[in-house]
Amino acid sequence: MSFSEFSLIKQYFDRGHVKRKDVKLGIGDDCALLEIPQGQQLAVTVDTMVENVHFLATVSAKDLAWKSIAVNLSDLAAIGAEPTWLTLALTLPETRSEWLNEFSSSFFEYADHYGLQLIGGDTCRGPLSITIQAMGFVPIDSGLKRSGANPGDLIFVTGSLGDAGLGLEIASGQCDIECCDDQRFLLERFNRPTPRVAVGIALRRLATSAIDLSDGLAGDLQHILTASGVGAEIDLDKLPLSTALLAQCDFDSAMGFAVASGDDYELCFTVAEDNLEQLGQVMKGTGCDYGIIGRITGSGGLTYTHNNQIYDKTFSGYRHFQADATNDDETNG
Ligand code: ADP
Ligand code: MG
C-alpha cells in the first residue's frame, strides 16, 4: 500500500464512532479479529456496486454510501440477522477529497445509526466501484431461509412496491413528474431504500420463508417458490402501493413497477395462517407497514389475479403520464 492510500484510509475511513466490544482488532492490521457470542451464528453477505451498472454516474456520493450499505443490510434483514460489522472495498478512479468527504460522512452517519463498525477493507485505483460486506448475528438455527414455505401459508410484503422502479426512471431522465412531493418521495425510495432489519429480527422462528426484494417481486418470490417446491397466487389488488405511485400511473403500469421492477428492498415473507395473530403482535413492535398479498399453493407456479380473474398480461414498467391520458396523440401508453 502506498503512503497516499494509507493516509486516505486514515483520513476518511478509520474514523467511525462505533467501537464494538466484539471487535478485538479493527482497521489497521492485516486482518480484523472478531468475537461471535455463544449461541449465535454469523450471517455474512457481500454486494458490489459498479458505476453505470448498479448506479448512475450522476448519483451523489452521500446517496451512494447510503445505498451501498442499505442493500447489504437488506440481505441481513431477509435472514433475520442483527447487523454488526462492515468491510468496505473501494475502487476509485482518482482521489477527490470532496467526494471522499461526502461519501465517508454519509457512510458513517448511516453505519452509526445501526451500531455498525467498519472493521477493514481494501482501497485501490480503477473505475468507481464499491463492495461492502455486511455481517451480523442470528441465534443458532433461527435464520429465515427461502426454503420453508408450505402450501396454505399466507404471503406478505412490507412497505410499498414499485416506488424505486419509477424513481429510477425519474433519476435517469426517462420521465418527468410535475408533482414535486411525489418526485422527491420516489427518488428517495430509489436512492435511499430502508432495509427492514427490525422486521427480519421480529420474524425469526415465525416466518416459514423470507427474501428481500432487490430484483422485483415476480423474480424474488419465484426464488422462494423454487427453494420451497411450491406455487403461489398473488392478488394484484392487494399489492401495497404508495400514493405517489398511484398518482403517477394507471393500474397496468403501477403493476409493472410493483411486480417487475427492482430496488425496493422490502421484505417478502410467508407465515402459516395459524400464526397470524402472533405476526400482528411482533410486527406492531417494528412500526413497519405490511400486508397480505396472496397465498402459497401446492403447485401451479406463480399466478396473478385482478378483480378475482386471472391476470395474464405481461408486466412492463413503463408509465402512463397523467397529462398524456387526455392526449389523443398518445400512442404507446
Ligand atoms: P493489506 O495490504 O494487508 O491487504 P491494506 O494495505 O489493504 O492491507 O489495508 C491496511 C488496513 O486498512 C487493513 O486493516 C485494511 O482492512 C484497512 N483498509 C483498507 N482499505 C480500507 C477501506 N476502504 N475502509 C476501511 N478499511 C480499509
Ligand atoms: Mg489489502
167-184 tens-digit pLDDT: 999 999 988 888 899 999
Distance between Cα 123 and ligand 2 center (Å): 7
User: Sign (positive/negative) of CA torsion 253, 236, 240, 161?
Assistant: negative
Question: What separation in Å is there between the alpha carbon of 30 and the centre of ligand 1?
Answer: 7
What is the tens place of the pLDDT at every residue in 189-214? 999 999 999 999 999 999 999 999 99
Residue 141 pLDDT > 60: yes
- CA-to-CA distance for 147 and 310, rounded, in angstroms? 26
What ligand is nearest to the CA atom of residue 12? 1
Regarding beta strands 290-297 and 154-158, do their DSSP bridges make them parallel or antiparallel, or are they unpaired?
antiparallel
Q: Which protein residues are within 6 Å of ligand 1, measured from CB?
A: 1, 9, 13, 27-30, 88, 90, 118, 120-123
d(CA 176, CA 322) in angstroms, rounded, equals 11
Q: Dump pLDDT digits (tens) for 242-290.
A: 999 999 999 999 999 999 999 999 999 999 999 999 999 999 999 999 9
Which among 20, 48, 50 is positioned nearest to 36, based on CA atoms? 20
What is the Rg, in whole angstroms, of the alpha carbon atoms belonging to the chain? 21
CA distance 27 to 121: 8
What is the per-residue pLDDT for 177? 86
Q: Which ligand is nearest to the CA of 91?
A: 1
Q: Is the pLDDT of residue 139 over 80?
A: yes
- Please choose from 123, 124, 133 the residue to mutate so as to test ligand 1's pocket, defined by most ligand atoms within 8 A of CB: 123
**How far apart, in whole angstroms, are the C-alpha atoms of residue 299 and residue 150?**
11
- Enumerate residues 6+ apart whose C-beta is below 8 A from 265: 70, 71, 74, 164, 193, 194, 195, 196, 212, 213, 214
Q: Centre a 10 Å sphere on the Cβ of residue 30 and count the other Cβ atoms it contains.
A: 6
Separation of CA 102 and ligand 1 centre (Å): 20
Report angle CA 189, 162, 158 to the nearest 5 degrees.
75
Mean pLDDT, all residues of the chain: 93
What pLDDT score does 3 carry? 54
Q: How far apart are CA 242 and CA 233, in angstroms?
A: 22
pLDDT tens by residue, 83-101:
999 999 999 998 889 999 9
Cβ count near 321 (within 10 Å): 18
